[in-house]
Amino acid sequence: MPVYIGAKVLFDGLDSLPFIWPILKAIPWLGALYLIKWFFSGASNGSERNMHSKVVLVTGGTSGIGEQVVRGLASRGAQIVLLTQHFLGDPFIVEYIDDLRSDTNNELITAEQVDLASLHSVRQFATKWIDNSPPRRLDMVVLCANTLTPSSGDIQSTSEGIELNWQVNYLANFHLLSILSPALRAQPPDRDVRVLFGTCSSYLGGDLLHITQPASTKSESQANSKSSAPKAAQEPTRFSPGNAYATSKLALTTFAVAFQKHLSAFKRPDNVPMNTRVVLVDPGFCRTPGTRRWLTWGSLFGLLVYLIFYPLWWMVLKSPAMGAESFLYAAMEERFGRGEGEGGWLVKECGVRKFGREEVSDEEAQKRLWQYSEQMVQEAEKRGAVERAKEKKEDQERKEEADAVKEMEDYKAKVGKKDGQKKDGGRRSKKAG
């Protein structure tokens, strides 16, 4: 066929081919669209690493970027432990794991129920994991779990009284790693251990001044008001659904850098340098459920607009698979291994980038955030314990009431009474017969 077309063009000219001029005019436009799509697809991971026998804990691994990260690691032989809020007997989880095992040819994929919206659930799993002698093998922790509440809605809180974005995106990760820290420190010195934090550029708009900035005393505020010099302190932004997500991501980024320092400061009994490295990963803008909720503002009208302009989103937003490339790069690049640098890197587009906020590396801000988070966890767990005790008492009362009703029904059936009437065939009826 190509030879025939070429001969026809050679002897009869281009005009002999049907629709040739519209096709030639469309080629530059198609080429431009291809270049735009290629540009927005981002960089691809070129690093490889033997992942066989590696034990990896993953949050948020059932959808979006997390799912693609799980598939990438599992296809390379890693043993995956999914931390999911779903009940382990849920048909979705059962079928999802079966599909993963089949698609990746890897049977070492399991799940544990961990609800990141509950600090009690996080503690139950983490304490069970570290309550083992010798310590369980743990090569990597990948934190992909993420939530975003509509900025136009009301503030949503968990049952323990914590704002949902702050809880899922930051505090649950803080709580999990604080408990798992001994397990990370106990890994053999020849093991390459990594902790990957999923972040995004929204942290640039976050605000932790209400945590990191100490309250001014009355005399200091009066002195500042009388002085003509400009104020050094900034006024904290009012917390709202609009900035809740960005603030939680800023807290997560700050904690990640502080967690690397926390691990590196530990002196191992064998005097070998700490072998755990922390890497922050920014996958960029991708077509994930979280991005869709952000673009639609959580409304039906916004969803309609999103669907109308979906070709545009397909063009300028990465697929989840391309977003996972930076995670795979952070998981397998040799430079992030043990003995290479101090850790706490930020990876974007499969390359190391600098942080856009200076306070992320501020040790005083990290210290205040850590102390604030520990206090918040303690108070929230106390509230959660009170609520669980209250629910347990109510369940017990309902059970006792149901048992009492059942006993009464059994008693009525036994004596042959129903609605206060005597049983047919009693003494009087027999006498009449």
HEC-encoded secondary structure of the chain: CHHHHHHHHHHHCHHHCCCHHHHHHHHHHHHHHHHHHHHHCCCCCCCCCCCCCCEEEEECCCCHHHHHHHHHHHCCCCEEEEEECCCCCCHHHHHHHHHHHHHHCCCCEEEEECCCCCHHHHHHHHHHHHCCCCCCCCCEEEECCCCCCCCCCCCCECCCCCEHHHHHHHHHHHHHHHHHHHHHHCCCCCCCEEEEEECCHHHHHCCCHHHHCCCCCHHHHHHHHHCCCCCCCCCCCCCCHHHHHHHHHHHHHHHHHHHHHHHHCCCCCCCCCCCEEEEEEECCCECCHHHHHHHHCCCHHHHHHHHHCHHHHHHHCECHHHHHHHHHHHHHCHHHCCCCCCCCEEEECCCEECCCCHHHHCHHHHHHHHHHHHHHHHHHHHHHHHHHHHHHHHHHHHHHHHHHHHHHHHHHHHHCCECCECCCCCHHHHHHC
- Among residues 115, 109, 54, the alpha carbon closest in space to that of 83 is found at 115
Active-site residue (options: 54, 128, 218, 249): 249
Cβ atoms 239, 209 nearer than 8 A: no
Cβ atoms 365, 212 nearer than 8 A: yes
Please name every residue paired with 366 in a beta bridge, in sequence order, or none if there are none.
none
249 an active-site residue?
Answer: yes
Q: Which residues are catalytic?
A: 249
